[in-house]
Amino acid sequence: MADRLLTVDEAAERLGTGVRFVRRLVAERRIVFVKVGRHVRIADSALTAYIEAHTVQPARLGRPSYGRAA
């Protein structure tokens, strides 16, 4: 089955952001997109890849080690 192409509005809704943010990602070429005529579409897999690439892992748990006091 082919990957679903999302509109900018749908991509913004999935990211939980405004349309302006998604359009900026496209303008800065920070996300893979498809041009269908003059319309911009973002593949569902491209959006998933963007989310995975920008997911920040939590810091390690426990007490931080600052070293010994002088």
Q: Quick one: CA dihedral 23, 27, 31, 35, positive or negative?
A: positive
Cβ atoms of residues 43 and 7 within 8 Å: no
Summarised one tens digit per residue, pLDDT across range 55-70 is 998 887 776 667 666 6
Separation of alpha carbons 12 and 5, rounded Å: 13
Rounded to whole angstroms, what are the CA distances from 6 to 17, 25, 33, 59, 64?
A: 15, 14, 10, 33, 43
Q: Model's pTM, two decimal places?
A: 0.77
Separation of alpha carbons 6 and 11, rounded Å: 6
Summarised one tens digit per residue, pLDDT across range 43-58 is 999 999 999 999 998 8
